[in-house]
Copies of this chain bind each other. A is one copy, B any other.
Amino acid sequence: MSHDDLTPEEVAKILPPGAALGWGLAKPPQRGPKREMSIDLIVKKAVEIADKDGLASVSMNRIASALGFTAMSLYRYIPSKDDLLILMQDAACDISLPAERTPQEWRESMREYVLGTVDVFRKHPWYGDIPILGIPITPNNLRIVDWALQSLRDMPLNHYEKMSIVLLLSSYARTYGMLQRDIDRAVLAGSSEEEFSGLNYSAALRYLIKSEDYPNLHPIVMSGAYTGENEDENTVGNDLDFGLDRILDGIEQFLIQKNAL
């Protein structure tokens, strides 16, 4: 249980093939013709296509054609499309991390982490479309987890408390990353931010939302706040910052209660 002496081959067998490839655990072939492609090249091209045209446009054929090969050739490098997705996900997590911060700057550090993670979703709008099949186990993804933990390093919290806080932050980052991405996407699709926020639907909602059926929502729709009209009257400002401030306040309460501050 605690004494583990595994060979790289054994480790590769435990992990999903895509993850094993991400860790570079596949030993290069000894015989046969020289390879004309590489895993990196394939993943890079797949990411490029996804960035430009979305995850749905990433087909084996499209990738291979862009590289000047046939679809089937890719299977000599990556066993399935699911494994390719794992590799793409990890590639998107290959970001440069900011310098470490002092323990007193835990709030800034956490904010930096959340904003940095949101950025992954904005840079790679397809990132959130890949389903989560488990906890992070690929190298770059884990590097980000390590980054998130940095802000808590010297706090008198146990491992589980630290992980729960990181999970809370990463969840928040994921949600807002996807929200932000959806807005970007709607804007790009030409439907404009107005359509996304619901501005176009204002009139329809005013007709449909009766105060009998929706007593609490009714006044908000009527005021135009639900669909984001009169954005200048919005005292809250950025929703992302608002929610993040509440979460950081909540964490602060916990840290005080734990005598960690």
Contact = CB atoms under 8 A, between A and B. Distances in A.
Contact of A246 (B14, B139, B168): B168
Closest 8 CB pairs of A and B: A250-B250, A159-B225, A246-B250, A149-B216, A171-B175, A249-B250, A168-B243, A146-B217
Contacts of A77: none
Contacts of A242: 164, 168
Interface of A: 4, 6, 11, 14-15, 23, 129, 131-135, 137, 139, 142-143, 145-147, 149-150, 152-153, 158-165, 167-168, 171-172, 174-176, 178-179, 182, 186, 195-198, 200-201, 203-209, 213-217, 219-220, 223, 225-227, 233-236, 239, 242-243, 245-251, 253-254
24 contacts: A14-B203, A15-B201, A131-B182, A133-B186, A134-B182, A134-B186, A135-B196, A135-B197, A135-B227, A137-B198, A137-B204, A142-B209, A143-B214, A145-B217, A146-B217, A147-B216, A149-B217, A152-B216, A159-B220, A159-B226, A163-B226, A171-B175, A246-B251, A249-B254
Contact of A196 (B131, B134, B234): B134
Nearest to A174: B175
